[in-house]
Structure 1
């Protein structure tokens, strides 16, 4: 069984609860102690009760044998044996007596105080053999039915009858059973008391731990001003002080990081805005130069082409930076509209003159309530990235899965290296360090992901496994984003976005 399966079983049984474990441990300790103490007490009391009863009966029986049985003639009659046995059993010891003699050589006679209760058959053969061999008092404990008995025997030295004692130990058994019940009840009470004690101890110990856990969760949720009330000088108080110090240090560092991040974001936004004015002028100039490119001196035409290309690249970079700052600042909003997805994809491809390089598999009539402009940005970046790094033909397939819109962009290129896959949506990430000045800025796929996330969807990247090779980007969006993000109140296109496909350097 795997470790995860064991943990799942323990969690299902509630064994992961520290409170339960404390109660179980306390209970096991209390149960072990109570059972041990009860067992020892029962054993000691049992031996004491049985020894006291046994010694009293055997002492009285020995005295009776010396006083009464020894006074019988060497050849007593059965009547004499009967009378003596009844006299010996008539005392306060409460036992039966069996006397065994001989009226002639080889002719035994028996006298019993209670023949219905005690006969020679009730004497174990081993005890009879021991009594016949040596003139000592021997005894054994035996049982008849559910009643325990003490059986003892001895004989008169120098000739005389042999006597056997038969005493019921039923009263002692009942007393010991009562003692066992009492000890069992005491054990149960000890177990219940230990459970209550464990609950009290668990509450005392776990309450600060629970407060610490709750404070840690609040800290993880971003409530960096969370602090614990410290009281006492024990280890838990020291832990609380350590937590407070760590939280204070974290709050300070996060405040510093937030300030630096806000400063960086403001710098990027200000820089992008400041660059817009000269870029507007440069764009106008480059458009004029591009229009006159055919009439320019062939020596300067390449330089003009380079200026036009780099100006457009710089313009795209500034627009991308502006969009990134909007996402970081949380000011990006959706401007929703009901769109036919097939028409939207077709318009995106047509606007960028990609019709000859893209195969579209989309049925008309698939409607979705989305932000058309942001969907265009996502598609432009995904298709542009596929064309740049995978090459044509690029296949775009549109389908629905329940209430979800799925758009798959597949190319037939070399695919994405496995070490690059986790980073394709990172900002400014470029897989090849030898191409730091590639045409893309490394922001296109990141912006595409941000636009998908603001819709409540996402994008995944993988390599094709059907043998054709190439990379597969799958865009998933809800067909109705109304309940996910608030709609913008401006006109469509109020916020400028990346109008061209930002191919980036994902591969």
Structure 2
């Protein structure tokens, strides 16, 4: 879930809880106020009217007198119906109704009748034996207030029934109003959340974009800072970090460039004397049979070390081209089986290599770089694994798979992660070996420039397996490299024109 959506949800939940809580409290407070006001007004009016209109009646009034009293009591601005009851000793007396259809005896709850007719003991805390009682009821789904009291001194018992429908409608209108207010609060909170999210997330988005550009190598990326809040402090920290990183990278780039220039210059400087030394060693090798047996081993050592030094210089020059980013593919359409055969034949490995490759597997690759990869992989297998070395070639969808397998002791597990590292030696006690320590790393770089990969694993049957995976067609990589070169040249021209 995005941060923007989380912010909006938090705002919505907070607004909903606050609005519902406020609306609920307001509704219940208003409900109690409305009902209590109506209830108190009706009960006070009934109690007073009951005393006024029954006080002049005889102890045992006639039914028509009771009916007249009920009508007078019901004739009130509070608009309620009245029921009056009398009793003659133990026998029931008259029952007078202001409107029997609207308010009959059955409408009076039994619990209310019991409370009204219960005589209380008179004492210091209770001055009267009978009191006024009330109860809210529902008749046919409509709300009513029913109250009752017994006239003290042997008078009749009176009950009143008042409709609360108007109050219910008012409360329903209030509930709708509060519901609409809650909905408007939610909409307002959503708009506020959107504005807050935009205010908060816009700087965060700019910071994310700047960090992405910084990760892509655009070290001159900076943020425009305004304000004094935490996001502004974060932007300032980012700018200081980017500036420090740019200076550090510039220093490291300068040192790396110096190192590359040193290696390249050294390699070029060594090539001239090496050419002369190689010519001399070629002559010595031709005359090896006629040399004095005492100096022949020394001559052979010079010849082998000269060749090793020549290979090292060539490898160093190749490495500097990769590091400088100037290595480029020159693709051509080749039959992979013929290319592998030519690589093996040129190095006189035909007797030591078992080739499993069908003719007709055509791929657009750089033949020279493929030859370098194969020479290093097969040569490494022959050197460390021993013959026979098996080389198999097969297509795999849009890729080309070349597998080089030896039958030696395999690669130690602690060495496997480092087999493609430059100058890596499996044993620190034997830092010197016949190879330069660059062959496999150069093979991997040549695979990468093709858009491929080389992996090394140990076989369960013994020996090591190096698997080369290359795309069948590297033309697109060449086009991409040419486009990047043109863009880089254009950027350099633009910078020079700005200066």
TM-score (ref. length: structure 1) = 0.89
Displacement of 1:158? 2.2
Displacement of 1:54? 0.2
Stretch deviating more after TM superposition (444-453 or 71-80):
71-80
Stretch deviating more after TM superposition (253-262 or 409-418):
409-418
Please give the alpha-carbon distance, in whole angstroms, between the structure 2 residues aligned to 1:390 and 1:298. Answer: 33
Please give the alpha-carbon distance, in whole angstroms, between the structure 2 residues aligned to 1:402 and 1:477. Answer: 11
Please give the alpha-carbon distance, in whole angstroms, between the structure 2 residues aligned to 1:320 and 1:339. Answer: 25
Partner of residue 235, structure 2: 240
Partner of residue 77, structure 1: 62
Partner of residue 87, structure 1: 72
* 1:111–1:210 CA distance, 2 compared to 1 (3 A): same
SS in 1 for 2:477: coil
Q: What is the aligned counterpart of 1:111 among 96, 103, 110?
A: 96
Please give the alpha-carbon distance, in whole angstroms, between the structure 2 residues aligned to 1:129 and 1:103. Answer: 19
Displacement of 1:488? 11
Q: What is the aligned counterpart of 1:178 among 170, 173, 177?
A: 173
Partner of residue 7, structure 1: none
Structure 2 gaps of 5+ residues are 120-129, 483-499
Runs of 4+ in 1 over 4 A off after TM superposition: 486-489
Displacement of 1:145? 2.9
Partner of residue 325, structure 2: 330
Please say if residues 360 and 395 of structure 1, whose CA atoms lie closer than 8 Å, have aligned partners that are also in contact. Answer: yes
1:24-78, Cα deviation, whole Å (9 max, x unpaired)? 2222222222212111111111111000000000001101110113333222333
Displacement of 1:486? 4.8
SS in 1 for 2:330: coil
Partner of residue 468, structure 2: 475
Partner of residue 96, structure 1: 81
Partner of residue 409, structure 1: 404
Please give the alpha-carbon distance, in whole angstroms, between the structure 2 residues aligned to 1:334 and 1:171. Answer: 91
Stretch deviating more after TM superposition (53-62 or 448-457):
448-457
Partner of residue 122, structure 2: none
1 or 2 for the larger relative contact order (CA 8 Å, sep ≥6)? 1
Stretch deviating more after TM superposition (230-239 or 275-284):
230-239
Q: How does 1:290-309 map to 2 (within 5 A)?
A: 290-309=285-304
Displacement of 1:137? 0.4
Displacement of 1:104? 5.8
Please give the alpha-carbon distance, in whole angstroms, between the structure 2 residues aligned to 1:329 and 1:473. Answer: 27
Q: Check if 1:148 corresponds to 2:156.
A: no
Please give the alpha-carbon distance, in whole angstroms, between the structure 1 residues aligned to 2:412 and 2:91. Answer: 112
* 1:78–1:422 CA distance, 2 compared to 1 (3 A): farther
Q: What is the aligned counterpart of 2:261 among 250, 259, 266?
A: 266
Structure 1 gaps of 5+ residues are 1-14, 490-507
Partner of residue 12, structure 1: none
Q: Check if 1:439 corresponds to 2:439.
A: no
1:192-241, Cα deviation, whole Å (9 max, x unpaired)? 11222222222222222222221111111111111112222222222222
Q: How does 1:138-287 map to 2 (within 5 A)?
A: 138-287=133-282
1:445-504, Cα deviation, whole Å (9 max, x unpaired)? 11111111111212122223xx31322211111112112125999xxxxxxxxxxxxxxx
1:323-365, Cα deviation, whole Å (9 max, x unpaired)? 1111122222222222111111111112222222222111111
